[in-house]
Amino acid sequence: MTDTHSITGLLLAGGRGSRMGGIDKGLQPYKGTPLALHTLFRLQLQVGQVLISANRNLAAYESLGAPVLPDAQADFAGPLAGFLAGLQACETEFLLTVPCDTPRFPLDLAARLMNSLLREDAEIAMPCAREEDGSLRPQPVFCLLKATLVSSLSAFIQAGGRKIDAWTAQHRCVLVPFDAPCDDRQAFFNANTLAELRQLEQS
């Protein structure tokens, strides 16, 4: 059984929301609740403590009841900047990152990632989900990371690195399939537009 207290959860809500016309995606309503709060509740069930990565509307995110971490960089450096802020604040052995726009991610995400990470003696565990063409596609914004990777990630970003897969490729990374018959086919569907959010809400 996964020791949830060894994991800090990080909700990623620091993006520009460019595909939603620049609005703050995490604060949009989903089934009557801000999208970020809905996702936060799901994350809290799987970890010991939670943090939020956000770069605007900080008071609104603070009202959700978790510490809010802005990026150290002021140029919206992408998810890795959020990863770094989370790792720098993390006081547990592991950090689990989850984006704010995927409100149906698996309730056993942390447990399955942790089991694979420990079994394979990996530093990073990342889920893979089944695509419509039948292929398994990695979901890189969902990562279980060893907190000791903070120095590696800091150096990567300082050198201009921005792509998650380019950084994770430097470490022992295990890919974990989430394609069992009982797995939700839309578990990793992320709503990039308001129309997609409404579609997900009704599915």
What stretches of 26-108 show up as alpha helix (H) in DSSP?
35-44, 58-62, 79-89
pLDDT 10s digits, 31-47:
889 999 999 999 999 99
Judge contact between 189 and 200, C-beta under 8 A: yes
Top mean pLDDT of 20-24, 29-33, 70-74, 85-89 is at 85-89
The answer to whether residue 129 scores a pLDDT higher than 90 is yes
Cβ-based neighbours of 115, under 8 Å, separated by 6 or more: 2
Residue 25 per-residue DSSP state: G
Question: In angstroms, rounded to a whole number, what is the distance separating the alpha carbons of residues 71 and 14?
Answer: 8
Find out whether 26 and 101 touch, Cβ atoms under 8 Å.
yes
Structural domains in the chain? 4-202 (3.90.550.10)
d(CA 176, CA 129): 9
Decide which of 59 and 135 is more confident.
59
The pLDDT of residue 107 is 96
* pLDDT at position 71: 86
Torsion over CA: 116, 177, 142, 197 (sign)? negative
CA distance 144 to 185: 21
Q: Which of 22-31, 94-103, 136-145 has the lowest mean pLDDT?
A: 22-31
pLDDT at 127: 98
CA gap 70, 86 in Å, rounded: 10
Name 96's Cβ contacts closer than 8 Å, sequence gap at least 6.
Answer: 7, 8, 9, 10, 43, 46, 47, 109, 110, 113, 142, 143, 144, 145
Beta-carbon contacts of 167 under 8 Å, excluding residues fewer than 6 positions away, are 80, 152, 153, 156, 161
